[in-house]
Amino acid sequence: MPQTSQCLSFSCREIVDGSVEKCPKCGTKMRTPKMVRRLGWFLLLVGLFLVALMGTITWNMAPSLLRPYAPGSNFTGTAEQAHMILRLFAIVIIFGVGTMINGIWQIATGQRNRWITIATLGLAVVLFVVAWTTNRGLGG
Ligand SMILES: [Zn+2]
Protein backbone atom coordinates (compact mmCIF):
# COMPACT_ATOMS: atom_id res chain seq x y z
CA MET A 1 0.00 0.00 0.00
CA PRO A 2 1.74 3.22 -1.15
CA GLN A 3 1.82 6.04 1.41
CA THR A 4 0.64 9.37 0.10
CA SER A 5 0.02 12.83 1.54
CA GLN A 6 -2.77 15.08 0.34
CA CYS A 7 -2.89 18.88 0.35
CA LEU A 8 -5.57 20.25 2.69
CA SER A 9 -6.26 23.25 0.44
CA PHE A 10 -9.61 22.76 -1.30
CA SER A 11 -8.43 24.49 -4.45
CA CYS A 12 -5.23 22.44 -4.71
CA ARG A 13 -5.78 18.87 -3.44
CA GLU A 14 -2.31 17.86 -4.63
CA ILE A 15 -1.32 14.27 -3.79
CA VAL A 16 2.34 13.32 -3.41
CA ASP A 17 4.10 10.08 -2.46
CA GLY A 18 5.42 9.61 1.05
CA SER A 19 4.85 11.60 4.24
CA VAL A 20 5.13 15.26 3.24
CA GLU A 21 4.20 18.00 5.72
CA LYS A 22 3.96 20.89 3.28
CA CYS A 23 2.44 20.95 -0.20
CA PRO A 24 5.21 21.33 -2.84
CA LYS A 25 2.73 23.13 -5.09
CA CYS A 26 1.06 25.73 -2.85
CA GLY A 27 2.77 25.46 0.56
CA THR A 28 -0.39 24.50 2.49
CA LYS A 29 -0.21 21.83 5.20
CA MET A 30 -0.71 18.30 3.90
CA ARG A 31 -2.62 15.42 5.38
CA THR A 32 0.11 12.92 6.13
CA PRO A 33 -0.31 9.18 6.83
CA LYS A 34 0.58 9.97 10.48
CA MET A 35 -2.35 12.41 10.76
CA VAL A 36 -4.70 9.92 9.11
CA ARG A 37 -3.59 7.21 11.59
CA ARG A 38 -4.13 9.54 14.55
CA LEU A 39 -7.62 10.32 13.26
CA GLY A 40 -8.11 6.58 12.77
CA TRP A 41 -7.49 5.94 16.49
CA PHE A 42 -9.94 8.70 17.34
CA LEU A 43 -12.61 7.15 15.06
CA LEU A 44 -11.95 3.71 16.52
CA LEU A 45 -12.42 5.02 20.09
CA VAL A 46 -15.60 6.94 19.17
CA GLY A 47 -16.97 3.82 17.41
CA LEU A 48 -16.11 1.58 20.37
CA PHE A 49 -17.73 4.02 22.76
CA LEU A 50 -20.96 4.19 20.70
CA VAL A 51 -21.19 0.41 20.32
CA ALA A 52 -20.44 -0.26 24.00
CA LEU A 53 -22.85 2.42 25.22
CA MET A 54 -25.74 1.56 22.90
CA GLY A 55 -25.08 -2.18 23.27
CA THR A 56 -25.42 -1.87 27.05
CA ILE A 57 -28.57 0.27 26.82
CA THR A 58 -30.15 -2.07 24.24
CA TRP A 59 -29.23 -5.13 26.33
CA ASN A 60 -30.89 -3.61 29.39
CA MET A 61 -33.96 -2.22 27.65
CA ALA A 62 -34.65 -4.89 25.02
CA PRO A 63 -36.66 -7.21 27.33
CA SER A 64 -39.05 -4.38 28.22
CA LEU A 65 -39.14 -2.98 24.68
CA LEU A 66 -39.82 -6.34 23.03
CA ARG A 67 -42.70 -7.10 25.41
CA PRO A 68 -44.10 -3.65 26.28
CA TYR A 69 -47.32 -5.01 27.80
CA ALA A 70 -45.73 -7.71 29.92
CA PRO A 71 -46.06 -7.37 33.70
CA GLY A 72 -42.99 -5.80 35.24
CA SER A 73 -42.08 -3.95 32.04
CA ASN A 74 -40.95 -0.41 32.81
CA PHE A 75 -41.68 0.80 29.28
CA THR A 76 -45.01 2.61 29.11
CA GLY A 77 -45.23 3.32 25.35
CA THR A 78 -46.85 1.28 22.60
CA ALA A 79 -45.31 -1.69 20.79
CA GLU A 80 -44.87 0.52 17.73
CA GLN A 81 -42.90 3.08 19.74
CA ALA A 82 -40.80 0.27 21.21
CA HIS A 83 -39.89 -0.90 17.71
CA MET A 84 -38.98 2.65 16.69
CA ILE A 85 -36.63 2.94 19.67
CA LEU A 86 -35.02 -0.43 18.94
CA ARG A 87 -34.56 0.55 15.30
CA LEU A 88 -32.85 3.77 16.38
CA PHE A 89 -30.55 1.84 18.75
CA ALA A 90 -29.71 -0.62 15.97
CA ILE A 91 -28.74 2.16 13.58
CA VAL A 92 -26.54 3.86 16.21
CA ILE A 93 -24.76 0.51 16.73
CA ILE A 94 -24.33 0.01 12.95
CA PHE A 95 -22.99 3.58 12.72
CA GLY A 96 -20.58 2.83 15.57
CA VAL A 97 -19.35 -0.33 13.82
CA GLY A 98 -18.91 1.62 10.56
CA THR A 99 -16.91 4.29 12.42
CA MET A 100 -14.71 1.56 13.94
CA ILE A 101 -14.11 -0.04 10.50
CA ASN A 102 -13.19 3.38 9.12
CA GLY A 103 -10.77 3.93 12.02
CA ILE A 104 -9.17 0.47 11.72
CA TRP A 105 -8.72 1.01 7.98
CA GLN A 106 -7.00 4.35 8.55
CA ILE A 107 -4.72 2.96 11.28
CA ALA A 108 -3.78 -0.03 9.11
CA THR A 109 -3.15 1.83 5.86
CA GLY A 110 -2.42 5.45 6.82
CA GLN A 111 -4.84 6.41 4.06
CA ARG A 112 -8.46 7.46 4.02
CA ASN A 113 -10.88 5.16 2.22
CA ARG A 114 -13.33 7.25 0.25
CA TRP A 115 -16.01 4.53 0.09
CA ILE A 116 -15.94 3.75 3.81
CA THR A 117 -16.08 7.48 4.56
CA ILE A 118 -19.06 7.94 2.19
CA ALA A 119 -20.81 4.89 3.69
CA THR A 120 -20.26 6.23 7.24
CA LEU A 121 -21.57 9.67 6.25
CA GLY A 122 -24.58 8.00 4.60
CA LEU A 123 -25.24 6.11 7.84
CA ALA A 124 -24.98 9.38 9.77
CA VAL A 125 -27.70 10.86 7.54
CA VAL A 126 -29.92 7.78 8.03
CA LEU A 127 -29.29 8.01 11.77
CA PHE A 128 -30.29 11.67 11.81
CA VAL A 129 -33.53 11.00 9.86
CA VAL A 130 -34.48 8.00 12.02
CA ALA A 131 -33.70 9.91 15.23
CA TRP A 132 -35.87 12.77 14.01
CA THR A 133 -38.83 10.57 13.03
CA THR A 134 -38.49 8.60 16.27
CA ASN A 135 -38.59 11.81 18.26
CA ARG A 136 -41.72 12.87 16.39
CA GLY A 137 -43.26 9.40 16.75
CA LEU A 138 -42.76 9.56 20.51
CA GLY A 139 -44.41 12.98 20.60
CA GLY A 140 -41.21 14.76 21.62
ZN1 LIG B 1 -1.44 22.41 -2.31
Taking the centre of ligand 1 as the mean of its atom positions, its distance from the CA of residue 55, in whole angstroms, is 43
Interval between CA 121 and ligand 1 midpoint (Å): 25
Q: Which residue has the higher pLDDT, 74 or 48?
A: 48
85-106 average pLDDT score: 95
139 vs 53 pLDDT, higher one: 53
Check residue 63 and give its pLDDT: 85
Alpha carbon of 12 to ligand 1 centroid (Å)? 4
Ranges of each domain in the chain: 1-31, 33-137
Reported as a pLDDT band with limits 50, 70 and 90, residue 70 is confident
Q: Is the pLDDT of residue 140 over 70?
A: no
Q: How far is the CA of 23 from the centre of ligand 1 (A)?
A: 5
Distance 118 CA to ligand 1 centre (A): 23
| pLDDT(50) > 80 | yes
Alpha-helix residue ranges (DSSP H) falling in the chain: 33-66, 79-109, 114-137
pLDDT at residue 100 is higher than 90 = yes
Residue 7 near residue 30 (C-beta atoms within 8 A): yes
Residue 136: CB atoms within 10 Å: 10
